[in-house]
Amino acid sequence: MEPQQRSPLLEVKGNLELKRPLVKAPSRLPLPGSRFKRGLDQMEDVLEPEKKRTRGLGTATKFTSSHPRAPAITTVPQAQGQTTAPKVPKKTGPRCSTAVVTVLKNQKPGPAVPAQKPGTAAAPPKLGGKKPSKRPAWDLKGQLCDLNAELKCCRERTQTLDQENQQLRVQLREAQQQATALGAERRTLEGELTRVRAQAEQGQQELGNLSARVLELEERLGTQEGLVQELQKEQLELQEERRELATRLEEQERRLQASEAALSGSQAEVASLRQEAAAQAALLAERGERLHGLEMERRRLHNQLQELKGNIRVFCRVRPVLPGEPTPPPGFLLFPSGPGGPSDPPTHLSLFRSDERRGTLSGVPAPPTRHDFSFDRVFPPGSGQDEVFEEIAMLVQSALDGYPVCIFAYGQTGSGKTFTMEGGPGGDPQVEGLIPRALRHLFSVAQELSGQGWTYSFVASYVEIYNETVRDLLAPGTRKGQGGECEIRRAGPGSEELTVTNARYIPVSCEKEVEALLHLARQNRAVARTAQNERSSRSHSVFQLQISGEHAGRGLQCGAPLNLVDLAGSERLDPGLALGPGERERLRETQAINSSLSTLGLVIMALSNKESHVPYRNSKLTYLLQNSLGGSAKMLMFVNISPLEENVSESLNSLRFASKVNQCVIGTAQANRK
């Protein structure tokens, strides 16, 4: 049995009942006519095709509408002189038109109210009238006509309310302006009233004072009358004295004429002295210009001298044998004299290594193999810290002149790198390292240049790179060990300067501040026990000093960084070594250290070969120091080696790496002047 077919009008009525009305309570603000008109126009466009289909199919035509009718909008009676605009939804468009049609469908149609002029109250609806009959559901055209009539009434009512709203806003603005003016006038009058009251109180006080003064004067008047007689007698005496003074005045006038003559001579002498002072000022300015020129020439010659020595220089330093260590055999390390004889500082190093494997094969001990190396300077075990710094003092001076400077300490674990850079414990001035000596030298020279008009400022930072993670060594208190949050970033858009985020940059101006920073950094640095050293540095420490100089009188500025880097100990890995949990951690540290040191060598080789791509980003160390490794920088590497025969293999690796660096040549350095 086929299911009973449902009437199209019943389907339309069911669809309309399922939809909930979307029109909310009336709003206090009127709905703009353009937006309401647009929603109803869209409703008419939707109903137009349905109306045409209804005409063609007759009473049995199916109709499905997605836009329910809205109830008729009627006006509410209001008090005279006041209007209340119905609240309408904020959004307009298809949703608004659908909501209006839905409400019109659910309410009974009412009589349309004609539009009223602005300022008149709406007339109350007539009671007892004949209620209009409800149109049948199939009379869509009639319903549309009713909706159009109601829409027209709503539009007229909206326009009337808009006009009334504009008038009320104008009146509100005028009232606010009047209130503002009256408030200002009230404040003015209050100020004047306060001032008048103060004047009145002051007048009363003066009146009392004058009354007391009158009484006092009356008493004094009686006294003065007695004094007048005495004064008359004194007048006679004064007349006699006046004659005597007239005689003395004549004498003083004669003396004054003589003084004026002497003053004329003094004025001529002063004019001569002024001319001489002007000449001295011109001479002083000329000497100042000459002094400035000499200072610029000194900087140029100083830089030229450093370039002649090489923008990449390598020094070799051999540490002495420590107590408890075996004494190396005689002739293990030799330091040949220079071309000028023993008076010249040594620049060559010879290392002898015996090959036991060759001796066992032939049955006869093989002679030791000699390895010769040449560097810019070689420091034997007896060289002191002052002798080492004296050799690099001029290079540190270049940083003050505006040239980026970078000094490395390279070598195996336990070869004396940290001692070279920071010095020994205990605060002994004789064993101070390069960092405190370099800053003391910079402070002293900056003080001397202040007499020539230069002003310098110094900002220090101290970070370490541990397992390719940047840490701040100057983090105090609870921030210790949180260096993993530090990252290397550009100082700003388009800037070439690199900074470390979350790291402390501390201005320094004296040696005590530097000592405090070094003490804090020693406590925070990552160290561990290794086979070569009881307390080995397992990270690269980078001490950066940003130098900024300014000559206000001549408008000159210069700035450059000074980088003093204590590299982590380089050690080869033994692949056959059984590793425990602690050894695995040391293995990861050693791999990270050797990788960054290898990248440093590749960067220096790329700079020397003028390659287009320099792999700065392959390591955090080279990325942080890239502005101090290029052609505008000066570099110095200390290769530190151990004097013990048991470390000969690591010493040879360090010397060979340093020899490759010593053969590199980069471009001419340029000062960072503005």
Binding residues for ATP: 411-418
Return the DSSP state at 69. Answer: P
Q: How many CB atoms are closer than 10 A to CB 588?
A: 11
Distance CA 454, CA 449 (A): 6
Q: How many CB atoms are closer than 10 A to CB 293?
A: 10
Q: How many CB atoms are closer than 10 A to CB 412?
A: 23
At residue 75, what are phi and psi to the nearest 5 degrees?
Answer: -90, 150
Q: Strand runs (DSSP E) across 491-641, as ranges? A: 498-500, 506-508, 527-528, 536-537, 540-551, 556-566, 634-641
User: 496-529 in b/e burial notation, b at 16+ Cβ within 10 A?
Assistant: eebbbeebbeeebeeeeebeebbebbeebbbebe
Which amino acid, one-letter code, is at 133? S
Tokens 């220089």: give the residue: 313
Distance CA 248, CA 551 (A): 63
Length of the chain, in residues: 674
Q: Which residues are annotated as a binding site?
A: 411-418
Residue 479, burial from CB neighbour count under 10 angstroms (0-12, 13-18, 19+): middle
563 three-class SS: strand
Which amino acid, one-letter code, is at 306? Q
DSSP string of 633-652, one letter each residue: -EEEEEEEE---GGGHHHHH
Tokens 């208190």: give the residue: 477
What's the token pair of residue 350? 């010879």
Distance CA 626, CA 609 (A): 16
What's the token pair of residue 634? 């000066």
What's the token pair of residue 334? 């030799």
Pairing of strands 454-466, 469-472: antiparallel
Helix axes 434-450, 385-400, angle to 10 degrees: 50
